[in-house]
Structure 1
Amino acid sequence: MKRIVAGGFFLLSGVLLYLGVHLAAAMYLPHITGWSTPPGKYGTALRETGGYAANLFSILLMIGGSLILLIELYFPHAAATYKKALAERNREYEKKHNLRE
C-alpha cells in the first residue's frame, strides 16, 4: 500500500511540475522576439525560462510513478495466478507419477 501511495505521489508531482513549467513557458511566449527553427518558439521560451531540466525531471517523475503503480497494481495479481497454476500442475505431476506417499 505504501508503494501505491508513493507511485501516486510521484505521478501527481510530475504532472504538477510539468504543468507549472508549461505555464511559465507559455506566459513567456509573447516576450520572445526571435527564435530558431529546431527548438521552435516554445522550445526557446522553455530554454529562456530555465525549464528544460524541470521539464525532463517532471517527465521522469511521471514515468517512474506510472511504473510503480503498474507494478504494484498488476504484478501481485499476476504472480498469485502464476503460483496457483504452478501448484496445480505440481499436484497433477505428482499424482501422475505417484510421487506422493
Structure 2
Amino acid sequence: MNKRLSLFGYVLFISGIMLFGLMHLSIALYIPNMSEWSDPPGKLATVLNQIIGWVPYTLSIILFIIGAVIIIYDLWQLRNKSS
C-alpha cells in the first residue's frame, strides 16, 4: 500500500507540473493575439478569462499541491518507521 501511495503522489505531482506548463505555453501563445487588457487584472487574468483557462490552471495547482503533500507524508512515514 505504501508503494502505491507514493506512486500515486508522484503521478499527481508530475501531471500537475505538466498541466501547469501546458497552460503557461497556451497563455504565451495567446498573448500576441490579444488586442487589449486592463491594468488591474493584468495579462494573465485577461488571457485566462479569454481562453476559459481558469479550471485547468487551478486544477494543475491543486494536483501539484496534493501530489506534494502525499509525497511528503510518505517520506515522513518512511522516516518515522526507520527511526
Q: Which has the larger Rg?
A: 1
Report 1:1-101 matches (<5 A): 1-78=3-80, 81=83
Answer whether contact 1:14 1:59 (CA < 8 A) is retained: yes
Aligned length: 81
Q: Which runs of 5+ in 2 are unaligned?
A: none
Give the aligned CA root-mean-square deviation in angstroms: 1.3
After superposition, the C-alpha distances for 1:10-60 in whole angstroms (9 at most, x for unaligned) are 000000111111111110001111111122112211211111111111000
CA separation in 2, counterparts of 1:45 and 1:26? 9
Task: Please tell me the residue identity of whatever aligns with 1:60.
Answer: I
Higher RCO, Cα 8 Å, sep 6+:
2
CA separation in 1, counterparts of 2:5 and 2:40? 40
Deviation at 1:5, TM superposition (A): 0.5
Task: Please tell me the residue identity of whatever aligns with 1:66.
Answer: A
Task: Please tell me the residue identity of whatever aligns with 1:56.
Answer: T
When normalised by structure 1's length, the TM-score is: 0.74
Percentage of identical aligned residues: 31
When normalised by structure 2's length, the TM-score is: 0.88
